Each structure stands twice: as C-alpha cells, then as structure tokens.
Structure 1
Amino acid sequence: MKHIVYVSQAEHPFSAWELANLLETSRARNVSDGISGLLIYRLNPEYNRGNFVQAIEGPEAEIDSLWSRITRDNRHHTIVVVQEGSIEARMFDGWSMGFKNADAEDLAGFAGFSDLGSDTFWSDISPASAAGALELLRNFYDGA
C-alpha cells in the first residue's frame, strides 16, 4: 500500500456547504477505490485563507489515480507533499475520509504544530521537517 500526506491552500475560503459536498463526493469514491485517510481544513481569518492537510492511503494504483485528480483540482493550489511512501498497514483503517474543520485553538496544543495559514509555513517546509506527519495527523484527529 501507499500513502501521501500533503498540504495545500484553498482557492477561496470554503463554506460549510462546500466542505460537506467535497466530503460526500470524496467518501463515496474512496469507499469504492479502497482508499482511507484524513482531511483537515483550517480557515485563517487573519489572512482570509483556507488550508488543507490531507493523508490518503490505499492500493498504489488507486492512490496514484487519486493523486492525479488531487493535483488537477482547481479548488486548491500550492500543493506540497510532506510525506509519501509505502506502508504495511493503514493508520486510518475504516475511515473513507475522516474530517476535521480546525481552528487555532484545536491545533496549538499539538507538538509539531505549524500555522498552515502563515506565510512562514510555506518558506520553512521541507521533507526533513515532515518526519512523523502521519502520526501527528492521527494524534490530532484522535485528540480533537
């Protein structure tokens, strides 16, 4: 199996309806493709900018196909892969797409937290800083 964890910037701040629509579509497709994962959305009101963090996992061919759709999706841009590779077991087993609409208070207490809405996040990100990205996402989701 394969996994990818990435961050991206929303093209515009997403409404609750847009997020619900995105999840409904994604979850249905993920179930049929054997993909599991987690999506976190955060609106930074200071910059009026939304950001996504997503982890996807599943069979390699299906992940590659999904990744192709993700990178062509015009609802977001500035896509940065923070972790990618093979996995032996799923971290998000049974989650067609776990979801959290996060705010700063939700995130600030977690070790390794970086403000995805800040300009410095995009200049400081590197693959070396992504160690443990899946575990951070899982701990956040489990603790939130």
Structure 2
Amino acid sequence: MISHDVHGKTQRDVDLARRISELAAERGMVAEPSAVSRVEVGLDTWDAEEIQPFWRAVLGLEPHPRSAIDLVDPDGNKPTLWFQQCEPHQLPQQRFHLDIRVPPEVAEQRIAAALAAGGELISDERAPRFTVLADPQGNKVCVCTQAGRDD
C-alpha cells in the first residue's frame, strides 16, 4: 500500500494494512507475506537528466512528484524506474534489456516520442513485432506489439 497523493508509504497506510490484517485474522485468513512484492528498475547512469526524457517517453511514465529524476506510473501498473549515479563507462554490455509491450496503435507514437527525446533507432527490421531503440547512453529497449506474431 502507498498513499498516491505522496507517492509513498505513510503511517496511514501502515494503520490501514494493520486493520485489514486484523479483520482478515478474525475471519480465519492467514497472511502470505511472500506473495507481496514490487518491482523497481534501477538504471546506472552518469547523467540521469540526459536519458530520463527518453525513458519517460518510451515507457509512458511520469516524473515522481518527490524526485525530479525518478519515473513512476500514476496508475501503479508499471514498475518505478530510478537512476543511480555512476562513473561514465563505455557502451553498456547489457545482460538484460526492457521490453515494453503496447497495443500496435500505440507503438508508433511511443517510438516517435522516444526518438524525439534523444533516442536512437537500433533496428526496425522485425517491426511491428518489435523495434529496438537505445537511449543517448546506449541502454536498449524493445517496443513490442502483438502484430506479426504467430503465437
């Protein structure tokens, strides 16, 4: 639970969670804390302001109200993306990359917004199934759709 007005956990969230747990326990329900998790993505960068507009555009996120750099989904469906300061380095040899799956009618708009925000088109040879983009520091993302998939 988080308070959406402050985009973070407050005492009222803790109090509400405790009350819900009490009500559930009264009805014989057992808590399963292992079933609760939240994914956040951290991206190492030497200049967050340089790449933040690209990631905001391609993922459809908004600036965090309490942080000028971190990005959040106001609806809470997508993970938070935060930027961790690091020393400049060569083009990343990524061990993973992000795929953002969107409806076909949204993909072109997302790609155009990401390119306008400083991104680079790496490959569109498999479009509309997926298009590979990179931010100004070389971090890659695939904008994917269901179009062109046989499965």
The structure with more radius of gyration: 2
TM-score, shorter chain, exceeding 0.5: no
Higher RCO (CA 8 Å, separation ≥ 6 residues): 1
Structure with more strand by fraction: 1
Greater helix content = 1
**TM-score, normalised with respect to structure 2:** 0.28
